[in-house]
Structure 1
Amino acid sequence: MREEEAEDNPCPADPAGLRRVFDTIGVATALLDRQGRIADLNAAMLRAIGCRPDLLIGQPMAGAFVWGGREDAADRFAQAVAGAGRGTVQELTLTGDGTWFDITLTPLPAESGGEPAGIVMTAADAGRRMAAEAQLRGQEERLRAARDEVVRAGQAKVRFLAAASHDLRQPAQSLTLFGAVLAERLSDHPQLPLVQTMNRAVEAMRGLLDALLDVARLDSGIVSPDMAPFAVTDMLERLEADYGPRATAKGLKLRVRPLKAQVRSDAALLERLLRHLLDNAVRYTASGGVLLGCRRRGMMLCIEVADTGVGIPTDKLDEIFEEFVQLGNAERDRSRGLGLGLAVVRRLSHLLGLPVRVRSRPGRGTCFTVEVPLHASWNPNGTERAMPSLDRPGALALIIDDEELILQSLRLVLEQWGWDVLAAASGEEALRQLDGAERLPDVIIADYRLRYGRTGVDAIRDIHAFAGDIIPAILLTGDTSPDRIREARRSGFTVLHKPVTLSELSSHLEEARGRAAAE
């Protein structure tokens, strides 16, 4: 190699050149023998140790660092040296005179193989890394605390909604039933219009309460869909029984076009969605009628709610799903709701994964379509059992509720319909009454939440055990707790959510007695 080339060579082979390279390395580096004694070290290591090299060569590295008062640091370092001397890379973090170092001990292979010829030690300043890690830990702790606070707030919201739903629905249920009984008893009385006005106010309050609680429950994330196959005909019959009289009272005609089909969804939530659509259709239709119909499209069932109402301008079709939007209620008539029904529909459709489409012509009407997947094993040629006629007065109903007002109002309604009634505040009291009764009830109506931690499910099952037979049963609940709702549904009994209308109650009583008559 020519002399000028040697001068330009960045990696000289002479010892002096290698020394310069060694000292130029920014990471503190030292060469140790297998016992951990210092054979050589670079300038960065000298700065880290803070001592002259002539005082360090041949000395144990374990004694060269000032370990910051950590009594076990020298021992840990010595153990790491021993491990490196046996051929294993060692990594540890130690503090030297207040500065933290990430130390790596790497065995230096011998030319002839066998045990290492020595150890290469590097000591990198760990301060920045440790500061970043401490900052990250602080952020994680703050995020964890914030998350825990959100969880606690969510749990508190769930408890509040469950309590508010139950406690608010109880008086609303009593008002609904007492008002209906009073209206029937005053059918020819001059004060009947006053009672009817009161009942309309109660019905408006019921709708507002349901809508507000639905929005709150759905936004809180406490509602989880319980997907299962079910026949749509039962659901459509309930909707027809409930909304038919409402439509007739407004001079409208409700037409229902069912289709014998099984779909897969959450039956209760889908019915809730359709109820909000029917509420809107009846509320905003002044003349003509409302259609609730089904048609099959491939493996989807399209459930349509169409009306001959005022219609919706094309540029407003997206707005109607927002909260408190009422296109035809500029005067804010509270009897026409708060404008939350379609906001609930939007939330339910997202929760269930069911698309909801709308088409409308101003002045001609509106049609909402909900697409629900058909159950894979559904047989379109199958048959369903018909509902028998149920006009049999004098049947016996057993009511169980720990709220005296609910017991009184239910008793009045059922007796007015021609039922004989047994009323009890608990399952135990019901059993005592049945023990002396001449016959078993034809149907049981029980509140879900009873006193002392008992439920209506417990009471009904105890009565079934006493009777040695399965008696049709209806659970009434004002609860919105997902766990309680799931438990109530798993019982296999009909579940109605308070406040229940007379048409709903009548429809489900007939359905329950129909099942009993068919068995």
Structure 2
Amino acid sequence: MAHVERSMDQRGSAYSLFQTAIMLEGRVRTRTEELTGLMRRLERSNEALVAAKEEAETANRSKTRFLAAASHDLLQPLNAARLSLSALGDLALPAEARTIAGQVERGLQTIENLIKTLLDISKLDAGIVRPEPRPVRLADLLEDLADSFKPFAERKGLRLAVRCGEATVTSDAMLLHRILQNLVSNAVRYTGRGGVVLAARPRAGAVRVDVIDTGCGIGPDERDLVFDEFYRGGSGRGSAEEPGLGLGLSIVRRMAHALDHPLALASRPGHGTRVSLTLPLSRIPAVPAPPAPPATKLSGARVLIVENDASTADALARLLHNWDAQVAAHRDLGSVRAAAEAGVEAPDILILDYHLDDGACGLDTAAYLRDRCGADLPVIVTTADHTPEIEARVVAIGAELVRKPIKPAQLRALLTHMLA
């Protein structure tokens, strides 16, 4: 009997073990199926993330191309308007007409700044802008900024001072100028009384540049927001005379990041704000800028223009006539070739638009006339396209590049220098 009972117990234990094994096998199978399903969902999620990333990058590239094309089309009529205004300014006008012309000029400048800023933001976000660090003499840069902003500061009754020793830093001069220009512009705009100081102080192998104002200040809850796009602060900031676009500090942050220059902000509401940029010291001295050539009459100089936009060509021709130049304006290479074959005297200098009708390029005109004249004619190429490929092509033929909208004073100085 005991033997039978032991046998029955062993059989019961074996059956229990069998049932346990079946149950465990079922659990393992269930867990395996759950893990397999989870892995498949993760794979699908990763594929979706990759697709979303590629779609976002494509959209970003498309946005950059769209803004570049749109800015080119927008800057063309703006360029014609500014050239016409400059030609108008050379005429004998009554005081009221000059005042109105100045107001129009300021409005056009605001439009130009907005277009260029939007394009800059797009390029920085797309990683197209590549800084070119070089030695920069800080005193020259700060003095130049102070000189350009002093009229605005004086109009508001503000003091604008520079405190800078003989320091040379390593940075991209153009991007650094844009950063500090935006900071000084903000400081002047948001300061009602007192003044603005541009100060450069050595800091252990670096230089800290401070833009300090005695304005309304920025509250703790706004300090992270002021670097966002289109944020213009509370109702107590800014002025009706010079409304801000809310893009200046956004550009500053992006450019400082691209240059790897630490940016810091300190402020006390009611007392003022200090924005600081830390720059690495340069061991190589900066090359001094050559003196600007004097702006004189271009008496008798033969200038050939190739420009497919009729309003721009007309405005540019009027401006050059006011400077006592002889001007011949053409729309394309075919017109230039016909004039040359008709025996028209060779020009002294060329002003060529890069993008012409039907995909033609202004550089083809330069090549044709240089070959026909057997001389290396000086060439100025104008364009509203800021892509580096175009700049490289212009530099490769030894021409000077002028971005649209053309600044008349810059063009006049360049013409005088190239014809000297």
TM-score by length of 2: 0.69
1:340: which partner in 2? Answer: 247
For 2:331 and 2:156, locate their aligned partners in 1 and report how far apart those are by CA, in whole Å. Answer: 38
Would the aligned equivalents of 1:360 and 1:366 in 2 still touch at CA under 8 Å?
yes
| Residues 470, 231 of structure 1: alpha-carbon distance in 2 compared, 3 angstrom cutoff | farther
String of CA shifts for 1:357-378, please: whole Å, max 9, x gaps.
45678888766443333455x1
State the aligned residue count: 396
- The amino acid across from 1:411 in the alignment is A
Equivalence map 1:17-166=2 (5 Å): 131=37, 134-166=40-72
- How far apart are 1:407 and its partner, in Å? 1.8
| 1:353 and 2:260 matched | yes
1:171: which partner in 2? Answer: 77
* Bigger radius of gyration: 1
1:471: which partner in 2? Answer: 378
| Residues 408, 371 of structure 1: alpha-carbon distance in 2 compared, 3 angstrom cutoff | farther
String of CA shifts for 1:434-482, please: whole Å, max 9, x gaps.
78335522xx544343334344556556656656336263x44333556
| 1:204 and 2:110 matched | yes
- How far apart are 1:173 and its partner, in Å? 2.2
Give ranges in structure 1 of 5+ residues lacking alignment: 1-19, 28-43, 45-100, 102-124
1:64: which partner in 2? Answer: none
Q: 2:294 aligns with which of 387, 390, 395?
A: 390
| Greater CA drift, 126-135 or 249-258 | 249-258
Q: 2:277 aligns with which of 360, 370, 377?
A: 370
2:320: which partner in 1? Answer: 414
2:6: which partner in 1? Answer: none
- How far apart are 1:404 and its partner, in Å? 1.7
| 1:221 and 2:126 matched | yes
Q: Secondary structure at the match of 1:499?
A: coil
For 1:366 and 1:493, locate their aligned partners in 2 and report how far apart those are by CA, in whole Å. Answer: 44
Structure whose residues are more often helix by fraction: 2
Would the aligned equivalents of 1:201 and 1:335 in 2 still touch at CA under 8 Å?
no
For 1:248 and 1:391, locate their aligned partners in 2 and report how far apart those are by CA, in whole Å. Answer: 27
| Residues 213, 158 of structure 1: alpha-carbon distance in 2 compared, 3 angstrom cutoff | closer
Equivalence map 1:185-264=2 (5 Å): 185=91, 187-188=93-94, 190-218=96-124, 220-229=125-134, 231=136, 263-264=169-170
Give ranges in structure 2 of 5+ residues lacking alignment: 1-14
1:312: which partner in 2? Answer: 217
- The amino acid across from 1:273 in the alignment is I
- How far apart are 1:343 and its partner, in Å? 2.1
Would the aligned equivalents of 2:303 and 2:347 in 1 still touch at CA under 8 Å?
no
- How far apart are 1:287 and its partner, in Å? 7.5
Would the aligned equivalents of 2:212 and 2:272 in 1 still touch at CA under 8 Å?
yes
Q: 1:404 aligns with which of 298, 306, 310?
A: 310
Q: 1:437 aligns with which of 329, 333, 345?
A: 345
RMSD between superposed Cα atoms in Å: 5.0
| Residues 366, 331 of structure 1: alpha-carbon distance in 2 compared, 3 angstrom cutoff | closer
Identical residues among aligned pairs (%): 28
For 1:305 and 1:391, locate their aligned partners in 2 and report how far apart those are by CA, in whole Å. Answer: 33
- How far apart are 1:215 and its partner, in Å? 3.6
| Residues 415, 242 of structure 1: alpha-carbon distance in 2 compared, 3 angstrom cutoff | farther
| Residues 147, 262 of structure 1: alpha-carbon distance in 2 compared, 3 angstrom cutoff | same
- How far apart are 1:260 and its partner, in Å? 7.9
For 2:382 and 2:141, locate their aligned partners in 1 and report how far apart those are by CA, in whole Å. Answer: 17
- The amino acid across from 1:153 in the alignment is A
